[in-house]
Amino acid sequence: MYAEPYFQAFDAVVRKNGVEAYLCGGTIRDLLLNRPFKDVDVVLRDRVLETAQLFSMKIKASYFVLDQERQIVRVVCGDGNWDFSIFRDATIEGDLRKRDFTINAIAVKWEQFYPDQRLDRLIDPFSGLSDLQQGVIRVVDPMSLPDDPLRMLRAFRIHAELQFEIDPATLAQMEQINPMIAGVAMERITEELDRILLQPDSAKTFRRLGNSTLFDSLFPEMKPMKGCEQGGYHHLDVWLHTVDALEHFEDMLLRTGDFFPDHHEFLNEYLNGISGTLDRKRLLKWAVLLHDIGKPATRELKEPGRWRFHGHDHAGADMAETLLNRLKFARKDVQFVQKIVEHHLRPLNLFNQEEQDLFRFFRATGAESIGIILVSYGDVSAARGPLAVPSRMNEFKDLMNRLFRYYRDEYYPTITMPELVKGRDLMVTFQMKPGPNMGKLLKEIREAQLSGQIRSREQALDFASRRLRDAGNI
């Protein structure tokens, strides 16, 4: 995104038209950290729209106005953006004062940066370079967070991306004003959460976020998970168990080849696929975060020190729907997460059964059965903590391998087989009329085919004849 042709094009516009321009914000931060970036942040003294138009014409890209009053224009090129804006408070220093964190409040004048891409004449009025070197996320000004409460969550997102620590004074201010997050558009909140979950170790950030009251304001449905003791099989409360489960799940995602060498390519193809609008990796992380959300509402004391959570899977699916709808998730993505939450106990239940009907498991869990199995790994791994028995976990991984193998070698080839008979066959052979009875019979025939009871058209028609005879219809 910051390839030389773009820089050359912008430089030509700046010099030909005498524009006073500065590179700012995350662009400078990432250049100093030698991190790749897609977006470029440019601040101009004046002539914002004109400059953005000229630049877009030069690189043959589209542009649009994000904020007419504040003069913010975006040029879209490739998979990134160049954002143009005018000085806030009339000077570059005043503009930097209006930014969120000191590490994002650094600028360099374009002519002093290009063509050598030098960063030795930085404008750094708030010691952002020092905080960058120390790995600290600190607000520029006491009004930085109240001016835009989303910045509270953005601090945690930057923590996830850069592994920087949030300044204690900044955290303390969040504890005072966190209810202000309720006034932020949900789409903006979801975008920040999404960027956290894109990180391979997002569990670290959610653990930190969970220690703050900002978490309670963001996720009132999840707040009761904190401090909800479980006892018995679980050594942690519901929330800490959830974070541990996400940590184990993310570790497994990074090492599918080590965990499941025979199914590595198959699992990666599944994980990188799209079931709705988001890739499955991120949706499965949401499913891990929400898999036990129904526990506080269903908790009952079984005996001293032991609680039961009967029906928490079904209650959790409903609560997950409410939360994700509030976050403006796409309907298909909501349904995906609901499905995982509702069925997350099935692999463990199967593990505890003496007679394991693998076909029945896949018929019950449906199209996202692989995701349910993967989420169950995080759940089971986090349950016992230091009391876990290694041999039991190895046995559970053996079951997972068996399930993956059965799905690939037997179940999937079976369910993709063409139907042996269709409605017109029943109409011609038995003079059946279309309706609920025909639909029910076709479903029974299909299930018998998938379970291996019938294998040919003749057997299917014979099966239908017996069913109709038993029902007194022929």
Give me the mean pLDDT over the 2-8 stretch: 81
The answer regarding whether domain 142-218 maps to CATH 1.10.110.30 reads yes
The residue behind tokens 């991120």 is 282
Determine what percent of the chain is predicted with pLDDT higher than 90.
Answer: 76
Give me the mean pLDDT over the 199-205 stretch: 97
pLDDT at 386: 65
State the pTM of this model. Answer: 0.88
What is the rounded average pLDDT for all residues in the chain? Answer: 92
> Is 2 a residue whose pLDDT tops 80?
no
Fold of 4-140: Beta Polymerase; domain 2 (3.30.460)
> Is 387 a residue whose pLDDT tops 70?
no
The residue behind tokens 């039991």 is 392
In this structure, are residues 29 and 161 in contact, taking their beta carbons and an 8 Å threshold? no
Which has the closest alpha carbon to 428: 457, 450, 456?
457
Residue spans of the domains in the chain: they are 4-140, 142-218, 223-415, 423-470
pLDDT at 174: 98
pLDDT at 413: 87
Give me the mean pLDDT over the 413-441 stretch: 89
Give me the mean pLDDT over the 307-331 stretch: 95
> Is 474 a residue whose pLDDT tops 80?
no
Distance CA 132, CA 104 (A): 9
More confident position, 232 or 194? 194
> Is 285 a residue whose pLDDT tops 90?
yes
Give me the mean pLDDT over the 97-120 stretch: 95
Give me the mean pLDDT over the 93-114 stretch: 96
pLDDT at 84: 95
How many CB atoms neighbour CB 312 within 10 A?
A: 23
Same fold, 4-140 and 142-218: no
pLDDT at 236: 86
Choose the weakest-confidence range: 72-76, 232-236, 450-454.
Answer: 232-236
> Is 246 a residue whose pLDDT tops 90?
yes
Give me the mean pLDDT over the 372-388 stretch: 86
pLDDT at 139: 98
How many CB atoms neighbour CB 185 within 10 A?
A: 10
Give me the mean pLDDT over the 42-58 stretch: 93
Distance CA 176, CA 142 (A): 12
> Is 358 a residue whose pLDDT tops 70?
yes
pLDDT band at residue 379 using 50, 70 and 90 as cut-offs:
very high
> Is 1 a residue whose pLDDT tops 60?
no
> Is 161 a residue whose pLDDT tops 80?
yes
Choose the weakest-confidence range: 204-213, 311-320, 446-455.
Answer: 446-455
The C-alpha angle 52, 58, 59, rounded to 5 degrees, equals 95
